[in-house]
């Protein structure tokens, strides 16, 4: 039986994540891991839950500004779509949550799927820029930065160039969208249109969605609001990871939470197994063990606490929303 590209992608993603887990758990002391989990200060979990849910609410609030004013659904509806999308990310492979979030919103509102998906692409641009700015600040304020592995600084420089390119493209897309799209077409067409027509069409569609996704940002005020909300959003996420350290008995400032946040975000960016199992743990180990030199057992225990709490909150709320709407999660996925 011939396997589809999607099934092959799922298989490869799961296999890679299993190998990551095997590598991370190689030669660890399981008794120490169990002891670290038992030392969790469970009474602090409600604070973690509040911080995490505030971040999700803030993401839904920011989403309004990526949609044109006459098409903005109620905040509660955007929050529901956000939670359903994250539920799909935890339960389905290949980061299906972004697609599901857009499809869910298009089913329960008048916002079209293409418009919704384009706004999500635009969101990701601001997320990348905000994360890289926080990473730069975090590394600048960390006394141990000189002890960090060399690939961290190399990666920051490379991502900084990518962020600059994204930022420039975003600026042009907001203020001269037609000229930018025409320029993109002129550059790509001679290279791909004849010999690689399928790839050419995909790239042109992606460029169109990216530019269309920024159409709601028509003035400096909206751009400023989105930028500020993006920083607050990711600072709240860093606060969640920092509070999780406190829940495990580690007293440190917000900088460590920022470093952990960014490392996790970078590792889970690639399509992988459902719920980022493996890549999420790798992000925690790199930040906590490789960079801050705490034990690998502590890093893995920390990843279990934060990952399980997020999964429990997201999936339970997302499934309740789907049940009340009378929609099955699989009905929101591509056939």
Most confident of 17-21, 188-192, 326-330: 326-330
pLDDT at 135 over 50: yes
pLDDT at 178 over 80: yes
Give the pLDDT confidence score for residue 17 in this predicted structure.
65
pLDDT at 27 over 80: no
168 token code pair: 């420039």
Q: What average pLDDT score do residues 204-208 get? A: 78
Range of the domain at 262: 13-324
Q: Judge whether 79 lies within some domain.
A: yes
pTM of the model: 0.85
Q: What average pLDDT score do residues 207-214 get? A: 74
Q: What is the mean pLDDT of the chain?
A: 83
Give the pLDDT confidence score for residue 9 in this predicted structure.
54
Q: Judge whether 331 lies within some domain.
A: no
Q: What average pLDDT score do residues 80-90 get? A: 94
Higher-scoring residue by pLDDT: 225, 178: 225
Q: Judge whether 295 lies within some domain.
A: yes
| Helix pair angle (45-63, 113-140), 10° resolution | 130
pLDDT at 270 over 70: no
Higher-scoring residue by pLDDT: 161, 16: 161
Q: What average pLDDT score do residues 228-249 get? A: 95
Q: What average pLDDT score do residues 135-147 get? A: 72
Q: What average pLDDT score do residues 122-137 get? A: 84
Most confident of 63-67, 152-156, 272-276: 63-67
Q: Judge whether 334 lies within some domain.
A: no
Alpha-carbon Rg for the chain, nearest whole angstrom, is 21
Q: What is d(CA 136, CA 134) in angstroms, rounded to the nearest whole number?
A: 5
Q: Judge whether 3 lies within some domain.
A: no
Q: Judge whether 35 lies within some domain.
A: yes
Q: Are 233 and 54 in contact (CB under 8 A)?
A: no
Higher-scoring residue by pLDDT: 332, 75: 75
Q: Judge whether 156 lies within some domain.
A: yes
Q: What average pLDDT score do residues 36-64 get? A: 93
Scanning the chain, the segments in alpha helix (DSSP H) are 5-24, 30-38, 45-63, 75-91, 97-108, 113-140, 150-175, 177-192, 197-213, 220-247, 254-267, 279-284, 296-325
Q: Are 125 and 166 in contact (CB under 8 A)?
A: yes
Give the pLDDT confidence score for residue 1 in this predicted structure.
44
Q: What is d(CA 306, CA 297) in angstroms, rounded to the nearest whole number?
A: 14
Q: Judge whether 6 lies within some domain.
A: no
Q: What is d(CA 230, CA 245) in angstroms, rounded to the nearest whole number?
A: 23
In this prediction, residue 101 has a pLDDT band, given cuts at 50, 70 and 90, of very high
Lowest-pLDDT choice from 51-65, 192-206, 229-243:
192-206
pLDDT, tens digit (0-9, with 9 covering 90-100), for 150-159: 666 666 667 6
Nearest-CA neighbor of 129 among 159, 155, 171?
A: 159
Give the pLDDT confidence score for residue 248 in this predicted structure.
93
Q: How many domains does the chain have?
A: 1
């Amino acid at each position: 039986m011939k396997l589809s590209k999607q099934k092959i992608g799922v298989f490869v993603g799961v296999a890679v994540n299993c190998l990551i887990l095997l590598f991370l758990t190689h030669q660890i002391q399981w008794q120490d891991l169990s002891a670290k989990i038992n030392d969790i200060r469970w009474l602090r979990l409600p604070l973690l839950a509040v911080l995490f849910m505030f971040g999700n609410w803030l993401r839904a609030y920011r989403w309004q500004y990526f949609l044109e004013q006459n098409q903005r659904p109620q905040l509660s509806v955007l929050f529901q779509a956000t939670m359903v999308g994250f539920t799909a990310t935890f339960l389905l492979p290949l980061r299906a949550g972004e697609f599901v979030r857009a499809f869910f919103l298009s089913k329960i509102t008048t916002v079209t799927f293409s418009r919704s998906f384009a706004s999500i692409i635009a969101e990701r641009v601001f997320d990348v820029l905000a994360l890289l700015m926080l990473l730069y600040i975090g590394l600048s304020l960390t006394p141990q930065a000189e002890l960090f592995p060399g690939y961290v600084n190399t990666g920051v420089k490379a991502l900084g160039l990518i962020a600059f390119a994204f930022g420039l493209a975003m600026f042009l897309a907001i203020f001269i969208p037609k000229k930018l799209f025409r320029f993109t077409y002129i550059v790509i067409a001679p290279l791909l249109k004849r010999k690689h027509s399928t790839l050419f069409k995909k790239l042109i569609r992606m460029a169109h969605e990216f530019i269309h996704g920024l159409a709601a940002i028509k003035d400096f005020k909206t751009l400023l609001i989105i930028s500020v909300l993006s920083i607050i959003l990711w600072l709240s996420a860093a606060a969640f990871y920092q509070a999780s350290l406190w829940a495990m008995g580690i007293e440190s400032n917000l900088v460590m939470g920022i470093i952990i946040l960014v490392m996790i975000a970078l590792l889970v960016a690639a399509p992988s197994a459902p719920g980022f199992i493996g890549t999420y743990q790798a992000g925690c180990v790199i930040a906590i063990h490789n960079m801050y030199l705490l034990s690998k057992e502590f890093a893995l225990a920390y990843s279990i606490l934060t990952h399980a709490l997020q999964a429990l909150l997201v999936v339970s709320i997302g499934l309740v929303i789907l049940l009340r709407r009378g929609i099955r999660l699989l009905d929101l996925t591509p056939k």
